[in-house]
Every structure is written in C-alpha cells, then in structure tokens.
Structure 1
C-alpha cells in the first residue's frame, strides 16, 4: 500500500494538492489520537450524511468537487 501511495504522490504535479496531502499526512504521523473524537457534532453529522449519500448512490467525484468548490484542478 505504501508503494502505491508513493507512486500516486509522485504522479501529482499540482503544488496545492501536494501541500494538502503534506499537511494531512504530517498531522496523521504526529497523532495517535482518533480524529473522530476531536470533531464537533456538526462535523460528525456532515460526515455521516456524506457516507449515507454515498451508500444511496448520491456521490460526486472528488476531483470534480475540488475543482468546483476550491478551483483546484488535477
């Protein structure tokens, strides 16, 4: 799995996307705490809603979401 992650990261040329992954992975490497416990009730509800939508077949491609919401393209 780590080799696959390395290959995927090596294929990304967008600095904004790489920065986002660096922040995410840096936080994960420093923490053994479950992030779920640190989320507020609204965030947990939003995540649970997203999971339910996915299971109901209502989902948006991650890259389409990032482009439309944050202007980040592949």
Structure 2
C-alpha cells in the first residue's frame, strides 16, 4: 500500500495490529490474528474499507459514523 498501511505487533501481545494515517487522523485496529499472513490480509481489507469510507464522506454520501450501531425500527 505504498507505505500507507502498517502491520505491527505490540509488546506483550500475541495479535497483530494495523494502522494508517488518513485525512489528518490516525486509524488503528487489532487484526485479532496471530499469523502474519492472515493479519496482512485483514489489514489490506481494513485499509481499503477506510479509504472507501473517507471517499464517501468527502463526497457527502456518508454523513455519520456507522460503528456497528443500529437505529431501532
């Protein structure tokens, strides 16, 4: 990802983490993977999702964060 995505493991953690800097903000996420190959694949998909969300927000098509919360019907 041209150095825009980082996969690393914190001290005393068995899980790999991923991070990127996008639109003036740091984004970080645990991959919940212990295998580096699986962690890299997770990180790649996670990064592409963040980029897509940023594009939608910039175009005004995504107005708010949808962090797994749902509005009751």
- TM exceeds 0.5? no
> 1 or 2 for the larger relative contact order (CA 8 Å, sep ≥6)?
1
Relative to its length, the structure with more helix (as a share) is 1
Bin the TM-score by the shorter chain: 0.3 to 0.5
- TM-score, normalisation: structure 1: 0.34
- TM-score, normalisation: structure 2: 0.35
